[in-house]
Amino acid sequence: MGAEKGKKYPTIKEIQENLEDFSKKIVSYDFNELSEQKFRSSIFSNTIILGTSVRQTREIFDKNTILELVKENFREPEKNLEAFELGYNL
């Protein structure tokens, strides 16, 4: 993994500018940092991302259905529900 020899990775700004051609809205946060700050672990960053994604696609995904799936299938459901809500409310 990594950049090819002699080539550099694009900056976040360059990535965002390129994505604007394909997306109606771009959401950019340091989800690992949010998770570390709130839960003292980056393990909940994916659930924060899930919450953000559900919010942005709420015409497709039902929030309550996803919350039930999190409750039934995720380890540490209470913390994951909190992480989901954190992402949903960003």
Overall pTM > 0.75: yes
Domain assignments of the chain as residue spans, ordered by start: 44-90
The count of C-alpha atoms lying within 13 angstroms of the C-alpha of 8, restricted to the half-sphere facing its C-beta, is: 5
Give yes or no for residue 79 having a pLDDT over 60.
yes
Per-residue confidence (pLDDT) for residue 3, from 0 to 100: 56
pLDDT in tens, 3-56: 567 788 898 888 888 888 887 777 889 999 999 999 999 999 999 999 999 999
| Range scoring the smallest mean pLDDT among 2-6, 28-32, 56-60, 79-83 | 2-6
Task: Quote the DSSP letter at residue 21.
Answer: T
